[in-house]
Structure 1
Amino acid sequence: MAISYPIVRRDELLVEDHFGKKIPDPYRWLEDPDSAETIAFVRSQNEITQKYLDRCPYTDKLKQRLKEVWDYERFSCPFKSGRYYYYWRNSGLQNQSVLFQLESLDGTASVFLDPNEIDADGLAAIRGYSFSEEGNYLCYGLSHGGSDWAELKFKRTDSGEELPDVLKHVKFSGIEWTHDEKGVFYCMYREHMGKADGTETTSNQDQKLMYHVLGTDQSEDVLCVERPDHPKWLIGAEVSVCGRYLLVSYRDGCEPNNLLYYCDLASINYSITGKLNLIPIVDEFEAVYEYVTNEGPLLVLRTNLNAPMYKLITVDITNPDRTNWKDLIAHNGTVLLECATCVHQDKLIVSRLQDVKSRLSVHKLQTGEKIQDLELPLGSVCGITGRKRDTIAFIRFTSFLTPGQVFSCDLTKEPLSLKIFRESRLSCVDLSAFTAKQVFYESKDKTRIPMFIVHPNNLILDGSRPCQLYGYGGFDIAITPAFSISQLMLLLHFGGIVAIANIRGGGEYGKPWHDAGRRKHKQNCFDDFQAAAEYLIAERYTGRDNSTR
């Protein structure tokens, strides 16, 4: 049966002049999602798609096979708060993961927060959460239908009791408790007019940092920070590990660079009653500055200031002139410093990316001196939990052929080592039948580009295999090895090959790699991707008629 594709109107009169170049934009009318014409367009696209899918004789078999392969347990790293440990778990086919609570790592876990019970269709999701300093309370964000808007709610951890406090109009917000457990800092906008279900395309302005005292109405919340002079800025807030300092950052749009200020809460006797007096640490958008930990007034920050692959520095906020800033872990031009976590009082677990593969090492907090490396296979560190007061850290690891492993590292036992604490397994698939490897190829301008290839062990390089080539190349995001059910289906049932090209524009090699694939250099992204396809064909992994991109 032939498919009759719906006619889509072109507005041939809409042409704009950009620097002397005439640019037609015939489908701009589709940018209004609420117009009758756009709604009719979406409906017609859905109808033709559904008709095609209804004709497919394999739909039920595909659905059943996907359910079988998806049905495996997934876990987060455990973490401690107060007298309890917590971890997120998905039994396999649950729409949302569930937060479990237990009194010891080998104890019996009980459900503490299950968003699936809030909405049986799985449309309620947890959007951020934070436990109070002594672990007596949980504040969590709840969103519906994929919306960025959330409501903040509160629970007691000893009884699981839901408290009456509800904070609305929350969007793009962290949650930070003061250490006295009296309340939380959060970000909100004034009441939103119109749709707020996640389908709106409008932007919001004038974000405000508020402080909510537990047990009071939201109308009594204290306005702490606002920037009416820069209505589009986003505000971030973080309470230091010692509880004394509130660090406030500002970001402008999608650029990662930020400003950084602080308020000494001790100077106001930890009483938040009005706008905070913020003292600048960084007052120009020149680089990224992320708080790691502190020793009194000495902050440890991750930054890419004069360090495109990032480094750790120390800044004394009592004497913040940058001539006094010191490198703690120096810049390495070939290895990207992704994150650092302070544990066991004076240790830093540092995660780096070297040629798009994770590397772990442990360092002394006072000097940055490396204590030792922690060996990992080819793959990605996708989570580290542990506080300054904790002696055990947990690391979550994944790769193309590893659904998920959680390692523990006891910082009191030297030499340090990683031990498997928990891991996900697929019961219906033998992942040992496949191989993952990394190759490098030349792009059009001779730049060396990394690419991962996943294929069956019995691969014969004759160009006959179907191949899925994927690349991203944007927003400073590194595409690291990760487990994917959709990619696995191609390997399992079509004898296929999966290739992931780490093209420029991403964050695999820091700011220079990102800058080399955007704006006037955007063509490099497409050249890199095209060169990846040509490499796969030339090396006989696939043929010209067998690859999809």
Structure 2
Amino acid sequence: MRSLTILTLAIGLAAIAPAQAAEHENKETPLTYPETKTVDVVDEQFGEYISDPYRWLENDVREDAEVADWVKAQNAVTDAYLETLPGRDALAQSMEELFDYDDLGNPVEAGGKYFYERKSGGQNQAVLYVRDGAEGEERALIDPAGWSDDGATALAGWKPSGDGSLLAYAVQDGGSDWRTLKVLDVKTGEVRADTVEWAKFTDLVWMPQNFGFLYSRFPEPEEGEAFQSLNENHAVYLHLIGTDQEKDTKVYATPDQPELNHVADLTSDKEWVVITSSSGTDDRYEITLVKVDAPKLETRKLVSGFENDWRLIDGAGDTLYFVTNKDAPRLRVVKTDLSADQPEFTELVAESDAVVDGAMIVGNRLVVSYLVDAKSQLSVFDLDGEALGTLDLPGPGQVGSLSGSMKSDEGFFTFQSFNRPTTVFRYEPSSEPTVWAAPSLPFDPDTVEVSQRFYESKDGTKIPMFLVHMKGQDLSEGAPTMLYGYGGFNISVLPQYKPAWMAWIKAGGVFASANLRGGGEYGKEWHDGGRLQNKQNVFDDFIAAGEYLLTMGITSQNGLAIEGRSNGGLLVGAVMNQRPDLFTAGHAAVGVMDMLRFDRFTAGRYWVDDYGYPNKEQDFRTQLAYSPYHNIEDGIDYPALIVSTADTDDRVVPGHSFKYTARLQALDTGDKPHIIRIETRAGHGSGKPTDKVIEEYSDIYAFLAHATGLELDQ
């Protein structure tokens, strides 16, 4: 069956649809949507006249009272509809139970102390703990619970100083990408007076002797523009402990190239600062070095040209180790000697069929994380590149958060899968990994079956897809199925545990995750195959996944829901337009919906590496062909759709979702509900408190369950 052509699939679907259509089809009373005003805005681009009647909805909801009123009216309709759905409370209760576990983070050792995050069931935000020694008694160091009344202020990054006496940390408020940086005395718990504002897209790097730390920031935005204006002129600064931010030293910037971002790292021996510069999202970097003990922190260019991916692993003295895709589309490991007049890169671990996903050095061992058909594998090498074998993992899943040091014989990594929350493993070169911390699970993972299938896309490309459902579940007549996808920015969608997904599965639904082109699962070729002029491949891959699920009888007729976030929200909007007959319902979360204006707001300009430039004709015509906002068709019955966004999303501004929903509601798109759920004091996703996540996804999955016929316990 896997070799069926798309033509055969289409014929098969046409043949079975009349007989099975009666199995489930909700008849909805059409909703009355708020009337949305239109404005006379028409742009001319390359001879095309583009109407944009909802341009006014791009305005910041916090600054424009008319947009705020529209949001209030839309939420009123959405809330009233959601109140009618059966099983919403049961879903919320299930999610509460499934969130009742310890969500763990990798420990970081500094000065004999171990720092780590843990979020236990019922907590809205993770708490930072510290132990004196690996087996010492833990104590809470930072608990964000008291930072805001609604739990929407989060700990968003931290780094202990080399001796573990101080901790720099980032505060995120309301889901925004902006960060406020502070410093804490680890022994006393006192928060020092140091405060840094307008940090964004930053790491924290302590300099030796704790005299200060490096961070990245943008200039302070104009009044009222913090959540809308383009992010430009990123720079690396040095903050000296005990001084005001106004005295911070600009270490590295490129005023002649304001579009570049710069993020600092430091080798474990604290000899070299390594600054990675990027112009977009395409993993093409320049590398600039700063010798820590050099006067005035002079910079030195190591890699120029923005041609390849370069990821620092670590360094010892003048030898630095990197993962790169230079001359290796599936990546390899190289090293360089900085003492040479013209440093060159020497191959340490050659490219293979598997894709390098990350690496760490622990003492005298190099541990490389590979992707093999979207599943992780850990291989070990010595520092001369000789292969020493692979490490045992609990099963098919995702390895993440590799953290090791050439100065230590101890490293850590995490592992998770669709049916297993994060477990933290400790690795020593002399032995197999051991469990450092594991959650007490709210369910038996062995009762959940995880399998992988491969199906053919429109052009014959084989696409992997994971299927997750309760073990022993009778699928002879199919089951309501949620299909998830992303397909972009070289991001690999790997097995991961999400309580909301598990609630759908435990209710009797099937969960499917397709590894679409545009991601990084098979290296640069896979990414290139789904971006720019190849973006349609992503939509074809997703549509083919839906056809496969129906033809194979995995999903029930009228039982296929789709979900995607951000670039995945764009995916949902695009395929809803292209194949409204195929899907029963959809959830488009924080999506990029207007492909002709995405580059005008906040971080949108970075995305041109994947989407292209709207002001270049070839890119414009490609974008216009699939832009969700511009391709909604009048007179076509659309699936049930819930759009979700948030007022403080300064990654994908909510105007994308506002405009898309307004047009979908204004045109004749059928009687099924097309609603939008707009969260307050929430952003693109990170930092969202647990209670808001449960409330949001019990609403959304009750909507999808009702549309697809998934029966929820009352």
TM-score w.r.t. length of structure 2: 0.71
* 2:349 is aligned with 1:329: yes
Q: Match of 2:158?
A: 129
Higher mean Cα deviation, 54-63 or 204-213? 54-63
Residue 303 (structure 1) shift: 1.0
* 2:74 is aligned with 1:48: no
Over 3 Å counting, the alpha-carbon distance change for 1:320 and 1:312 in structure 2 is farther
Over 3 Å counting, the alpha-carbon distance change for 1:60 and 1:437 in structure 2 is closer
Contact 2:359–2:366 (8 Å) recurs in 1 = yes
Residue 56 (structure 1) shift: 3.6
Higher mean Cα deviation, 418-427 or 132-141? 418-427
Over 3 Å counting, the alpha-carbon distance change for 1:387 and 1:159 in structure 2 is farther
Q: Match of 2:338?
A: 317
Over 3 Å counting, the alpha-carbon distance change for 1:513 and 1:547 in structure 2 is same
Contact 2:268–2:407 (8 Å) recurs in 1 = no
Q: Match of 2:509?
A: 496
Q: Match of 2:665?
A: none
* 2:380 is aligned with 1:362: yes
Contact 1:76–1:87 (8 Å) recurs in 2 = yes
* 2:188 is aligned with 1:159: yes
Residue 284 (structure 1) shift: 0.7
Over 3 Å counting, the alpha-carbon distance change for 1:297 and 1:441 in structure 2 is same
Over 3 Å counting, the alpha-carbon distance change for 1:449 and 1:227 in structure 2 is same
Structure 2: distance between partners of 1:196 and 1:94: 33
SS of the aligned residue for 2:209 comes to coil
Q: Match of 2:541?
A: 528
* 2:506 is aligned with 1:487: no
Q: Percent identity?
A: 33
* 2:327 is aligned with 1:298: no
* 2:481 is aligned with 1:467: yes
Q: Between Structure 1 and Structure 2, which shows a larger proportion of strand residues?
A: 1
Q: Match of 1:194?
A: 223
Contact 1:462–1:542 (8 Å) recurs in 2 = no
Post-superposition Cα deviations, 1:374-431, rounded to whole Å, max 9, x if no partner, equal 02210001222332222222221000111122222222x3xx312223222333x333
Q: Match of 1:289?
A: 310
Aligned to 2:362, which of 343, 355, 371? Answer: 343
Residue 434 (structure 1) shift: 1.9
Structure 1: distance between partners of 2:158 and 2:70: 39
Contact 1:153–1:167 (8 Å) recurs in 2 = yes
SS of the aligned residue for 2:306 comes to coil
1:70-81 aligned within 5 A: 70-81=99-110
Structure 2: distance between partners of 1:112 and 1:358: 33
Contact 1:281–1:320 (8 Å) recurs in 2 = no
Aligned residue-pair number: 531
Instruction: Give the RMSD, CA atoms, in angstroms.
Output: 2.0
User: 2:547 corresponds to which letter in structure 1?
Assistant: E
Residue 154 (structure 1) shift: 0.9
Structure 1: distance between partners of 2:221 and 2:45: 34
Contact 1:79–1:386 (8 Å) recurs in 2 = no
Contact 2:221–2:229 (8 Å) recurs in 1 = no
* 2:407 is aligned with 1:389: yes
Q: Match of 1:6?
A: 34
Q: Match of 1:233?
A: 260
Q: Match of 2:491?
A: 477
User: 2:243 corresponds to which letter in structure 1?
Assistant: T
Q: Match of 1:261?
A: 288
Q: Match of 2:242?
A: 215
User: 1:232 corresponds to which letter in structure 2?
Assistant: E
Over 3 Å counting, the alpha-carbon distance change for 1:319 and 1:542 in structure 2 is same
Over 3 Å counting, the alpha-carbon distance change for 1:224 and 1:407 in structure 2 is closer
Residue 95 (structure 1) shift: 1.2
Aligned to 1:538, which of 547, 551, 558? Answer: 551
Over 3 Å counting, the alpha-carbon distance change for 1:426 and 1:341 in structure 2 is same
SS of the aligned residue for 1:190 comes to coil
Residue 62 (structure 1) shift: 3.1
Structure 1: distance between partners of 2:341 and 2:460: 43
Structure 1: distance between partners of 2:541 and 2:102: 37
Q: Match of 1:380?
A: 398
User: 1:285 corresponds to which letter in structure 2?
Assistant: F
Residue 143 (structure 1) shift: 2.0
Contact 2:265–2:273 (8 Å) recurs in 1 = yes
Post-superposition Cα deviations, 1:271-306, rounded to whole Å, max 9, x if no partner, equal x4xxx4322111211011111112321211111112
Higher mean Cα deviation, 496-505 or 21-30? 21-30
Residue 320 (structure 1) shift: 6.4
Structure 2: distance between partners of 1:170 and 1:355: 37
Over 3 Å counting, the alpha-carbon distance change for 1:100 and 1:196 in structure 2 is farther
Post-superposition Cα deviations, 1:427-482, rounded to whole Å, max 9, x if no partner, equal 3x333222101111111101010000012222334233111111110111110000
User: 1:116 corresponds to which letter in structure 2?
Assistant: A
Higher mean Cα deviation, 135-144 or 247-256? 247-256
TM-score w.r.t. length of structure 1: 0.92
Q: Which runs of 5+ in 2 are unaligned?
A: 1-28, 563-714
Aligned to 1:515, which of 516, 519, 528? Answer: 528
Aligned to 1:403, which of 409, 421, 443? Answer: 421
Residue 201 (structure 1) shift: 1.6
User: 1:7 corresponds to which letter in structure 2?
Assistant: E
* 2:454 is aligned with 1:440: yes
Q: Match of 1:371?
A: 388
1:20-169 aligned within 5 A: 20-33=47-60, 34-56=63-85, 58-169=87-198
Q: Which runs of 5+ in 1 are unaligned?
A: none
User: 1:492 corresponds to which letter in structure 2?
Assistant: K
Over 3 Å counting, the alpha-carbon distance change for 1:306 and 1:25 in structure 2 is farther
Contact 1:403–1:425 (8 Å) recurs in 2 = no
Structure 2: distance between partners of 1:418 and 1:379: 16
Contact 1:309–1:331 (8 Å) recurs in 2 = yes
Contact 2:275–2:288 (8 Å) recurs in 1 = yes
Residue 120 (structure 1) shift: 4.1
Structure 2: distance between partners of 1:330 and 1:160: 47
Contact 1:299–1:316 (8 Å) recurs in 2 = yes
Structure 2: distance between partners of 1:336 and 1:40: 49
